[in-house]
């Protein structure tokens, strides 16, 4: 019996020793993997994004000429459906919303775009902070059917080009007014803006990025080049990413491609280089995934916005 007990105890200690050795080996293996990881302490895949966009958007120019004309409206919406556009941003609202008699036609258009053509979001593009409150008061709040309402507010006012008329401090007040109006709406709206450059004044790049990230649900950043060029955007995205990290968030980024002749018109043109909008996005993503820069983990490029309908329709009918 004693011999049997000793044998059992000996086997037990051998088994225990083996388990300890295995655990130590596993720990060392994990530590070694962390040592060679290109992003220590994080999953490298977290900084990579899909080449398939979840967001496809379009700026709609000359909308005041289109509204109420069924043929023009449907031509626009059929084109959007053809190119899988899910978000449209409407210009010319300063003219349209001055006259409440346009509300019925606007409501009909927004409802048709969502219910019949697969549009998920319709953005009201405005240039001044007070205009977002006006948009709620004179349009959104008058529609009992929420499908007829705008569900995105977009601030387009180029503070970097405004000089002394409205620098970043002035523009920030517009951003705050938009954010407050959007989030006070029932149901709440998304607040976004288009950014060109961190200047006016210069030397405040990180402060400006911090402000944008704090007051925005997503940010549109232009890539106005003749072909997709992530390096052109990288510095701005780095500031936005560092701001997002400091605020404990990941900020969604939308890349703006211009179909104008001086930019990517020939790149998209069916009679030119004949690249699709998705091609341009996939190239940006490929370049992004290959790049290394501070703030990368806290930005997420989710899709693209095309400027604008007239140019885009001309090059890709």
Q: What is the pLDDT along the chain (317 residues), one digit of tens a residue?
A: 444 344 444 444 444 444 443 443 443 444 433 332 232 333 444 578 888 999 999 999 999 999 999 999 999 999 999 999 999 999 999 999 999 999 999 999 999 999 999 999 999 999 999 999 999 999 999 999 999 999 999 999 999 999 999 999 999 999 999 999 999 999 999 999 999 999 999 999 999 999 999 999 999 999 999 999 999 999 999 999 999 999 999 999 999 999 999 999 999 999 999 999 999 999 999 999 999 999 999 999 999 999 999 999 999 99
Reported residue count of the chain is: 317
Identify the pLDDT of residue 39. 29
Count of domains observed in the chain: 1
CATH number for the domain spanning 194: value is 3.20.20.80
Identify the pLDDT of residue 257. 98
User: pTM of the predicted model, to two decimals?
Assistant: 0.85
**CA nearest 255: which of 291, 286, 228?**
228
Is 68 a member of any domain? yes
Identify the pLDDT of residue 15. 46
Is 6 a member of any domain? no
Is 125 a member of any domain? yes
Angstrom distance (rounded) from CA 201 to CA 168: 7
- Residue 283's domain spans which residues? 53-315
Identify the pLDDT of residue 50. 86
Identify the pLDDT of residue 51. 86
Identify the pLDDT of residue 252. 98
Is 15 a member of any domain? no
CB-based contact 236:270 (threshold 8 Å): no
Is 12 a member of any domain? no
Identify the pLDDT of residue 183. 97
Is 5 a member of any domain? no
Strands 55-60 and 299-307: parallel
Can you say whether residue 303 is alpha, beta or left, with left for phi > 0 and alpha for psi between -120 and 50 degrees? left
For the chain, how big is the Rg over CA atoms in Å? Answer: 26
Is 237 a member of any domain? yes
Helices within 90-188 (DSSP H only):
93-96, 103-116, 129-138, 168-184
Angstrom distance (rounded) from CA 183 to CA 257: 28
Identify the pLDDT of residue 8. 41
Can you say whether residue 163 is alpha, beta or left, with left for phi > 0 and alpha for psi between -120 and 50 degrees? left
């Amino acid at each position: 019996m004693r011999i049997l007990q000793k044998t059992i105890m000996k086997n037990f200690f051998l088994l225990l020793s083996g388990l300890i050795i295995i655990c130590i080996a596993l720990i060392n293996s994990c530590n070694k993997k962390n040592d060679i990881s290109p992003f220590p302490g994080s999953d490298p895949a977290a900084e990579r994004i899909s080449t398939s966009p979840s967001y496809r958007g379009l700026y709609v120019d000359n909308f005041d000429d289109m509204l109420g004309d069924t043929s023009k409206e449907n031509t626009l919406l059929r084109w959007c459906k053809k190119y899988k556009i899910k978000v449209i941003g409407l210009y010319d609202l300063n003219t349209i919303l001055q006259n409440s008699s346009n509300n019925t036609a606007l409501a009909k258009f927004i409802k048709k775009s969502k219910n019949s053509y697969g549009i998920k979001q319709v953005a009201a593009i405005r240039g001044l902070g007070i205009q977002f409150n006006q948009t709620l008061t004179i349009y959104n709040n008058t529609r009992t059917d929420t499908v007829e309402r705008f569900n995105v507010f977009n601030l387009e006012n180029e503070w970097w080009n405004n000089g002394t008329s409205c620098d970043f401090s002035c523009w920030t007040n517009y951003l705050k007014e938009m954010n407050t109006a959007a989030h006070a709406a029932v149901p709440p709206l998304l607040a976004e803006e288009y950014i060109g450059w961190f200047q006016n004044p210069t030397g405040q790049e990180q402060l400006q990025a911090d402000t944008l990230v704090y007051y925005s649900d997503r940010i549109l950043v232009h890539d106005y080049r003749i072909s997709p060029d992530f390096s052109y955007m990288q510095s701005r995205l780095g500031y936005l990413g560092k701001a997002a990290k400091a605020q404990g968030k990941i900020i969604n980024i939308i890349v703006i491609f211009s179909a104008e002749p001086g930019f990517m018109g020939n790149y998209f043109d069916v009679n030119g280089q004949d690249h699709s909008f998705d091609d341009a996005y996939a190239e940006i993503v490929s370049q992004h995934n290959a790049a290394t820069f501070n703030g990368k983990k806290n930005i997420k490029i989710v899709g693209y916005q095309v400027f604008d309908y007239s140019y885009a329709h001309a090059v890709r009918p």
